[in-house]
């Protein structure tokens, strides 16, 4: 029997957070970096895409990223038809998914053979400084911890998720983005501007005591400030690439089928191993 993954996210709270995002005239800087990097990756592919789709929780920020793209929300069941697209982008939303593999599987099914999947999300190194300062403050004041920042996957795990979803030629790469803030409030303002406030299903529903934020700011300044007194923060953008399987794609050769030995390529002498190898200390 297939078990339903536990709910990571309070979707109603996440929706409210995202509705407060003001597209304005400028993108939040991390979304601008993500768009620039995705454009670069698309140029490197050197292929034209005629039926793209974009999965996003922020259509006001990403709706115009690709001309004529179908833009759908990052709901648990994606509004995508099977085999309808030659390109699917999943942007700045996968870290909120209760079932990230399910999201990737649905994106793969929406692709035509040899269609391209590109994703970008926050990775596990994101806000490591804030996590540490906040955890220490809450432990000192209450003797325990509560869910406050969404858990984010490490790059080594995300590459495996692409394979589990059935995508071929999977690649995951990371882009650290260091930032310096004048105050903890400025960091919180950036999170709010991206719709990234706490929307965890297991979060505390009571108001947070101001003393917790004061202690967090003190811990942050003590351990994570630069020579100018600014608070240093790390964001990690992880980019995922995979292809819908197709017979035209390169495949690894069958073991033993090589026509040229490695010794010939390196210009060295190949020495055969004896049939039986004597291990020192054994009869």
pLDDT at 259: 65
Alpha helices in 143-223 (DSSP H): 155-164, 184-193, 210-223
Record: fold of 11-266 = Rossmann fold (3.40.50)
What pairing do the DSSP bridges indicate for beta strands 52-56 and 231-243? unpaired
Q: Phi/psi of residue 192, each to 5°?
A: -65, -40
What pLDDT shows up at residue 147?
Answer: 75
Per residue of the chain (283 residues), what is the pLDDT tens digit?
455 556 888 999 999 999 999 877 689 999 999 999 999 999 999 899 999 999 999 999 999 999 999 999 999 999 999 999 999 999 999 999 999 999 999 999 999 999 999 999 999 999 999 999 999 998 878 777 777 788 899 998 998 999 999 999 999 999 999 999 999 999 999 999 999 998 888 777 777 788 988 999 999 999 999 999 999 999 999 999 999 998 887 765 565 555 666 566 566 666 655 555 555 555 5
Strand partners, 9: 200
Question: How many CB atoms within 10 Å of residue 211?
Answer: 12
3-state secondary structure of 274: coil
Secondary structure element (H or E) that encloses residue 136, with its range? helix 128-142
Residue 240 belongs to what H/E stretch?
A: strand 231-243
Instruction: Specify the DSSP element, H or E, that contains 140.
Output: helix 128-142
Q: What integer pLDDT is reported at residue 23 of this predicted model?
A: 74
Instruction: Provide the 3-class DSSP secondary structure of residue 121.
Output: strand
Confidence (pLDDT) at 1: 47
Domain ranges for the chain, please list them.
Answer: 11-266
Concatenated DSSP letters for 198-220? Answer: --BTTS--SPPPHHHHHHHHHHH
Q: Are 64 and 89 in contact (CB under 8 A)?
A: no
């Amino acid at each position: 029997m297939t078990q339903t993954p536990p709910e990571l996210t309070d979707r109603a709270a996440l929706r409210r957070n995202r509705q407060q995002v003001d597209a304005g005239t400028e993108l939040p800087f991390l979304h601008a970096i993500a768009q620039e990097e995705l454009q670069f990756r698309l140029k490197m592919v050197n292929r034209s895409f005629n039926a793209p789709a974009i999965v996003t929780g922020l259509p006001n920020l990403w709706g115009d990223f690709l001309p004529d793209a179908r833009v759908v929300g990052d709901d648990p069941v994606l509004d995508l038809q099977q085999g309808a697209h030659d390109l699917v982008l999943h942007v700045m939303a996968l870290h909120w998914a209760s079932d990230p593999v399910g999201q990737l599987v649905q994106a793969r099914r929406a692709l035509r053979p040899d269609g391209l999947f590109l994703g970008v999300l926050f990775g596990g190194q994101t806000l490591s400084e804030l996590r540490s300062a906040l955890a220490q403050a809450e432990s000192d004041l209450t003797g325990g911890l509560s869910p406050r920042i969404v858990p984010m996957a490490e790059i080594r795990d995300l590459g495996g998720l692409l394979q589990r979803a059935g995508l071929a030629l999977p690649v995951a790469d990371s882009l650290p983005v260091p930032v310096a803030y004048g105050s903890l409030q400025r960091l919180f303002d950036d999170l709010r501007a991206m719709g990234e406030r706490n929307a965890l299903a297991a979060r505390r529903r009571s108001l947070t005591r101001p003393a917790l934020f004061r202690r967090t700011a003190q811990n942050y300044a003590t351990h994570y400030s630069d020579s100018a007194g600014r608070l240093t923060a790390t964001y990690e953008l992880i980019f995922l690439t995979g292809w819908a399987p197709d017979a035209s794609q390169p495949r690894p050769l069958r073991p033993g089928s090589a026509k040229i030995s490695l010794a010939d390529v390196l210009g060295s002498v190949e020495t055969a191993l004896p049939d039986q190898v004597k291990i020192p200390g054994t009869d």
